[in-house]
Structure 1
Amino acid sequence: MKISQKIEKANKEDRIWWSFEYFPPRTAQGLQNLLDRIERMRAMGPEFVDITWNAGGRTSELTSELVKTCQKLIGIETCMHLTCTAMPKEKVDIALREAKLHGCRNVLALRGDAPVGKEWEPVEGGFAYGIDLVRYIRKHHDDYFDIAVAGYPQTHQLPPEEAAQEMQWLKEKVDAGANFIFTQMFYDVDMFVSWVRAARAAGITVPIVPGIMPIQTWNGFQKATAMANITVPQFLLDELEPHKNNDEKVRDLGTKLVADLCRQILAADIGIKGLHFYTMNLEKGCRMLLEELNLVPRIDVVKPLPWRQSLTPNRRTETTRPIFWANRTRSYLSRTENWDEYPNGRFGDSRSPAYGEIDGYGIMLKHSKDDALSLWGSPASVEEIRALFSQFCMGKLKALPWSDVAPSSETTVIATQLARLNEFGFLTINSQPAVDGAKSSDKIHGWGPANGYVYQKAYLEFFVSPELLDMLIPHIERDINITYYVINNRGDLRTNTHSDGPNAVTWGVFPGKEIVQPTIVEAISFMAWKDEAFELGRQWAKLYEPDSSSRKLIDAITDTYCLVNVVHNDYKKPDAIFEPFFKAGAEFSAKYPSTNDFANGHTN
């Protein structure tokens, strides 16, 4: 979605919105750390993010990678900076082509700064001014891209003739095809409001987005304002300077001062409802500022679907996914990358496309060997394995081999039951509680457009020994509302389901829309997931030496246990799914009081 469309929609709904800017780090490790941070900050509810382009394109490949990841994996609309500095037309063409490939439809066209220690000069075969870049993009890409340009409120303090000339140049960029304006950071509200009114008087009607820089430290604040040649009101300096050696105090005071600046912008009669935060790749300052402003993220921005939507061109219309990859989004995207269609519609399934082979990311644990061993230690008994799974469900362990992320907030609703299941020997790797009409704005279960209701069936997925499974199945089959699939590592499938079609386990009802069914359980997908689920167990085992107790134990579990998924189709009975497990677990414990001895005897 174009940013101008997002702004227009927010204005019609008379709501405040915000966005974040990031810059590409210089190293691959820095990139991964930043991506993790952007993922966390996604929960703060930005309408979009934008990614800078360093002078001379030094980090252009990292910029492109950031844009790709934000669009494809994080699922957030992205604006890519593009500068004239050291950029011949060929490089511009490559950058725009890659942006288009990743589904990015927003570009900030800038002249850009000169490389450090050099005077700015146009490159041969390149562009001299930002307006040249705007015209080039419009000429060769028509209206595919929203084009932003930079505005400089500080120029309003220039002598009248110079200020008028700066405004005329801005007007020419807008007339050449710019859709909206990002401003340079500022701390003088009166100057900004005056500049906006002058822009409107000059005939500039496109949205103006104010650039806001949180104040993190005194030295950082001084450096940023000096580099940008920003005039800072004296009252602000008087507040901060006495505490310049106390970073925490400066941040607290700075947060209140910048929050007041934001309130004045939003209250001014200039039609601005959005704020663009220059994060400097830092998280805490933006979080404190949003909290100070009481700006609460909207569920339909943070979570338009229960799973993270990919915004690449061929996946934007994807509306349904199997539940099995809920905790391994990257792997699912990788394995379905070459599909010519995706599960979609009310009862669509994945039988037409073919799941890709498990390769690349698909067989890799997310964590390095050292991190994994630090997380999971060296379990030498089934009891220790069960304890790890229980700790994960209770939020005391941040990851398992089958989960790239910590337990979701809705796991807390059934955490006690899950922990008990694991103590019995059902090693849970995926689950969701039953939900009977939660508001779409619900902080735990909510997703999708406002004023809707969401529903879901209780779901469990787990590894279990054949002996314990044999005790479970009779209890499951006494409840006509339960359907299940069982599969071993050889691919032998067992089920009580008589339909080949998918079973929708999550759905939403929203005003003015058909019922949305974004999450399903179905046999074909489960069999594809089976390969990955067992392989992840093998990868975990390989962290340990071949003759170690941990290696033998985890390999034995992978070889002998079954993978099972269970759905309770009556979503009005939230606890009913657990009853067969508690009964089977109690019977198993009674029959084999020394559970660990039994388990070790069957896994060695």
Structure 2
Amino acid sequence: MTVTANGTAKPFSIGSDPNLRQLPKIADKIRQRQSENRPFFSFEYFPPKTETGVCNLYQRVERMTAIEPLFCDVTWGAGGSTSDLTLDLSGNIQKYLGVDVMMHLTCTNMPAGKVLEGLEGAKNRGIRNILALRGDPPAGKEWTKCEDGFEHGTDLVRFIRANYGDYFGICVAGYPEGHPAGFLEGKITYDKEMEYLKEKVDAGADFIITQMFYDVDTFLSFVRRCRDIGITVPILPGILPIQNYTGFKRMTGFCRTFVPQSILDAMEPIKDDDVAVKEFGIRLGIDMCRRILKSQLCPGIHFYTLNLENSVMGIIDNLNLIPRTESIRSLPWRPATIDKRRNENVRPIFWANRPKSYLDRTSTWDDFPNGRWSDNRSPAFGDLTDYHLLGGGGWASATRKADAAKRYGDIKDFDDVTDVFTRFQKGELKRLPWAETEELATETSVISAPLLWLNRNGLLTINSQPRVNAAPSSDVTVGWGSAGGYVYQKAYVEFFAKPEIVDALFEAAGHFPSLTIYATKANSDKLRTTAKHKSTCAVTWGVFPDREIVQPTIVDPDSFLVWKNEAFNVWTNVWADLYNEGSPSRAVLNELKDSLYLVNVVDNDYVGGDIFGIFKMVLAQSV
């Protein structure tokens, strides 16, 4: 269930999102995947120590979550040493990146009051899943129970359930080889450790993730033993890909992990060759995961990423867990995983390349469009501020701003601006200031040639989509949604242009009756338009078995007026801000903000239309 702002509950619809964002509890997602016999994967990250590291991690998580892990988790430092950063990372990933987060929470050196603070912080950030751990003692110290604290992980599980009921999904750790401070120290028997694990499950844990291991036989024996003693919850193997020999020896030594002799023998001759070690680590990871999945004892694989992506992605790619010839998108845009937004399925197209900004500016809404866009919604957009997640457009530091300025180069005139847009369309630049990520929509390739032509001619495009007529929802380029459906799109292009070009477009519009044009300037609250009635228009929709038609992307004139302030603001507060005060580059960009129009064009003929026809006429006349 999901809960609205007034406390009423609404049912989640499993079938509406193939990636299960309607289910906030990870255990529920796992059960659904088990019922579908669909193995999954998930990722763990840890809080970096530097601001640059944090920015890089957000970008890495965004890239990795594009392949739809079932969830990700973020670690908690010993004694709460990274608690604030863990909460911020977890909350931002949950809010902005469209993946459910499981936040670690340890009770080492943590009195009950501090644990409660962590849980409240998680709840306030929309996090619904906790990995409850006793945790390691601070470096160089023995583990001791603190005053008003918890002695065992079981106590923490009971505490969470006693204070929050079923609000949080709870995961606990399992140790296939025994806990380093328990069985491996000879302090308790392995049977006693298994008994403690069952107590944690009986206290309210929903599933188990194991410590890293390299002996698959030992892991499978552990799972069978769990089943034999009555532990029935899902058990996920924790897989740590070998990245380099030194790190491998350090981690296995710290965790006291058993390494089969065959692995040690294979690594010995290549231990000084980092590339060879990484390649071996990928091959080993693939083999381990295949054996585990083939056993059918586990529904998925959990990866300890160490905040790195290449090895993990290499393993997943070879396990065929991601369809290579089918779309995996739930909607044309990435849905949110904040409870009150879980059923949201309509957004204006204008924020397609700035989704985090849209999430920020609509975060105070009590409910979100589901099925149709309300015409009276635009006044509720939050005010535009200079603040932006991760720093304006993603450049959070002076170094990043300097790097961006270097990539764009000095801006002496409009031709230099045109050159930047053209280089982006040719793939020579990874990002424009109007985009929050470096990932271009795959569908852009369908219209890349005419877009490049427009930009070369001074029509500076910032958003577009091709027309689509009844493409299968599984289509790897334009598809989205559940299987067996068909998707449709009206062609759309949005751009900045000089006044004389805009005037010519409106003069030519009568020859192109299927087009709807809107245009406005930075200092105006009025729209120039060819529309006879200024109303909301769906530009993307899908037809699926046993469902109403879904219309996830719309063009709305009132929202366009809200968006245009943000779009024009990027000229000055993001791009011009990269250059020194008083510089020619800053002056040119500031002037362009005031002189250019922002224009969007929709071609309502999604069957046989040509949205670029009007531009061919106008530009031919201007030569």
Asked if structure 2 preserves the Cα contact closer than 8 Å seen for 1:46 and 1:301, the reply is no
> Structure 1 pair 153/551, CA: closer, same or farther in 2 (3 Å)?
closer
Structure 1 counterpart SS, 2:387: helix
User: Distance between the aligned counterparts of 1:290 and 1:352, measured in 2?
Assistant: 42
In percent, how many aligned pairs have the same letter?
49
Asked if structure 2 preserves the Cα contact closer than 8 Å seen for 1:214 and 1:254, the reply is yes
Structure 2 counterpart SS, 1:470: helix
Asked if structure 1 preserves the Cα contact closer than 8 Å seen for 2:107 and 2:153, the reply is yes
Q: What's the CA shift for 1:490?
A: 2.2
* Aligned equivalent of 2:215, options 174, 188, 195: 188
Corresponding residue for 1:251? 278
Check if 1:361 corresponds to 2:387.
Answer: yes
Corresponding residue for 1:563? 598
User: Distance between the aligned counterparts of 1:544 and 1:220, measured in 2?
Assistant: 41
Comparing 109-118 and 348-357, the one that deviates more = 348-357
Check if 1:316 corresponds to 2:342.
Answer: yes
Comparing 518-527 and 298-307, the one that deviates more = 298-307
Q: What's the CA shift for 1:114?
A: 0.4
* Paired amino acid for 1:225: T
Q: What's the CA shift for 1:356?
A: 1.8
Corresponding residue for 1:76? 99
User: Distance between the aligned counterparts of 2:107 and 2:211, measured in 1?
Assistant: 18
Corresponding residue for 2:17? none
Matched ranges for 1:578-593 at <5 A:
578-589=612-623
User: Distance between the aligned counterparts of 1:412 and 1:87, measured in 2?
Assistant: 53
CA deviation map 1:527-555 (0-9, x unaligned): 01111111211233354456654334323
User: Distance between the aligned counterparts of 1:354 and 1:521, measured in 2?
Assistant: 17
Q: What's the CA shift for 1:140?
A: 0.9
Q: What's the CA shift for 1:347?
A: 4.1
User: Distance between the aligned counterparts of 1:300 and 1:64, measured in 2?
Assistant: 35
Asked if structure 1 preserves the Cα contact closer than 8 Å seen for 2:371 and 2:551, the reply is yes
Structure 2 counterpart SS, 1:361: coil
Structure 2 counterpart SS, 1:178: coil
Corresponding residue for 1:595? none
Corresponding residue for 1:443? 476
Corresponding residue for 1:283? 309
* Aligned equivalent of 1:520, options 554, 557, 575: 554
> Structure 1 pair 254/555, CA: closer, same or farther in 2 (3 Å)?
closer
User: Distance between the aligned counterparts of 1:59 and 1:549, measured in 2?
Assistant: 44
> Structure 1 pair 70/123, CA: closer, same or farther in 2 (3 Å)?
same
Provide the TM-score with structure 2 as the length reference: 0.90
Structure 1 counterpart SS, 2:28: helix
Corresponding residue for 1:124? 147
Check if 1:60 corresponds to 2:87.
Answer: no
CA deviation map 1:169-195 (0-9, x unaligned): 111111111110111111111111111
Structure 2 counterpart SS, 1:155: coil
User: Distance between the aligned counterparts of 2:119 and 2:40, measured in 1?
Assistant: 27
Matched ranges for 1:521-560 at <5 A:
521-539=555-573, 540-544=575-579, 548-560=583-595
User: Distance between the aligned counterparts of 1:299 and 1:454, measured in 2?
Assistant: 16
Structure 1 counterpart SS, 2:56: helix
> Structure 1 pair 178/366, CA: closer, same or farther in 2 (3 Å)?
closer
Check if 1:210 corresponds to 2:242.
Answer: no
Corresponding residue for 2:417? 385
* Paired amino acid for 1:509: V
Asked if structure 2 preserves the Cα contact closer than 8 Å seen for 1:484 and 1:497, the reply is yes
CA deviation map 1:192-225 (0-9, x unaligned): 1111111101011111111111111111111111
> Structure 1 pair 11/186, CA: closer, same or farther in 2 (3 Å)?
same
Check if 1:344 corresponds to 2:365.
Answer: no
User: Distance between the aligned counterparts of 1:298 and 1:80, measured in 2?
Assistant: 31
Corresponding residue for 2:460? 427
Matched ranges for 1:439-518 at <5 A:
439-491=472-524, 492-518=526-552
Asked if structure 2 preserves the Cα contact closer than 8 Å seen for 1:393 and 1:415, the reply is yes
Q: What's the CA shift for 1:579?
A: 0.5
CA RMSD of aligned residues (A): 2.2
Structure 2 counterpart SS, 1:429: strand
Structure 2 counterpart SS, 1:82: strand
Corresponding residue for 1:334? 360
Asked if structure 2 preserves the Cα contact closer than 8 Å seen for 1:300 and 1:450, the reply is no
Corresponding residue for 2:329? 303
User: Distance between the aligned counterparts of 1:74 and 1:397, measured in 2?
Assistant: 23
Structure 1 counterpart SS, 2:315: helix
Asked if structure 2 preserves the Cα contact closer than 8 Å seen for 1:379 and 1:385, the reply is yes
> Structure 1 pair 392/269, CA: closer, same or farther in 2 (3 Å)?
closer
Asked if structure 1 preserves the Cα contact closer than 8 Å seen for 2:498 and 2:597, the reply is yes
Asked if structure 2 preserves the Cα contact closer than 8 Å seen for 1:489 and 1:534, the reply is yes
* Paired amino acid for 2:76: W
CA deviation map 1:432-476 (0-9, x unaligned): 111122222322212222332222111011111111112122322
> Structure 1 pair 545/233, CA: closer, same or farther in 2 (3 Å)?
closer
Provide the TM-score with structure 1 as the length reference: 0.93
> Structure 1 pair 57/390, CA: closer, same or farther in 2 (3 Å)?
same
Asked if structure 1 preserves the Cα contact closer than 8 Å seen for 2:45 and 2:307, the reply is yes
Comparing 134-143 and 493-502, the one that deviates more = 493-502
Corresponding residue for 1:596? none
* Paired amino acid for 2:209: F
> Structure 1 pair 14/298, CA: closer, same or farther in 2 (3 Å)?
farther
CA deviation map 1:285-324 (0-9, x unaligned): 1011112323325899963222222222332222211111
Corresponding residue for 1:175? 202
Asked if structure 2 preserves the Cα contact closer than 8 Å seen for 1:24 and 1:63, the reply is yes
* Aligned equivalent of 2:351, options 311, 325, 329: 325
Comparing 364-373 and 257-266, the one that deviates more = 364-373
User: Distance between the aligned counterparts of 1:425 and 1:301, measured in 2?
Assistant: 34
> Structure 1 pair 301/206, CA: closer, same or farther in 2 (3 Å)?
farther
> Structure 1 pair 507/125, CA: closer, same or farther in 2 (3 Å)?
same
Q: What's the CA shift for 1:257?
A: 1.9
Asked if structure 1 preserves the Cα contact closer than 8 Å seen for 2:131 and 2:171, the reply is yes
Comparing 377-386 and 31-40, the one that deviates more = 377-386
Check if 1:224 corresponds to 2:251.
Answer: yes
Corresponding residue for 2:42? 19
Corresponding residue for 1:153? 176
Comparing 513-522 and 150-159, the one that deviates more = 150-159
Structure 1 counterpart SS, 2:612: helix
Structure 1 counterpart SS, 2:251: helix
* Paired amino acid for 1:442: D
User: Distance between the aligned counterparts of 1:581 and 1:349, measured in 2?
Assistant: 31
Corresponding residue for 1:86? 109
> Structure 1 pair 347/531, CA: closer, same or farther in 2 (3 Å)?
closer
> Structure 1 pair 273/351, CA: closer, same or farther in 2 (3 Å)?
closer
* Paired amino acid for 1:246: D
CA deviation map 1:317-367 (0-9, x unaligned): 222111111111222222222223333323434536522221142594543
* Paired amino acid for 2:592: I
User: Distance between the aligned counterparts of 1:300 and 1:144, measured in 2?
Assistant: 35
CA deviation map 1:565-604 (0-9, x unaligned): 1100111225x10010111011112xxxxxxxxxxxxxxx
User: Distance between the aligned counterparts of 1:67 and 1:301, measured in 2?
Assistant: 27
User: Distance between the aligned counterparts of 1:130 and 1:531, measured in 2?
Assistant: 51
User: Distance between the aligned counterparts of 1:42 and 1:116, measured in 2?
Assistant: 32
* Aligned equivalent of 1:105, options 122, 128, 148: 128
> Structure 1 pair 578/352, CA: closer, same or farther in 2 (3 Å)?
closer
Corresponding residue for 1:238? 265
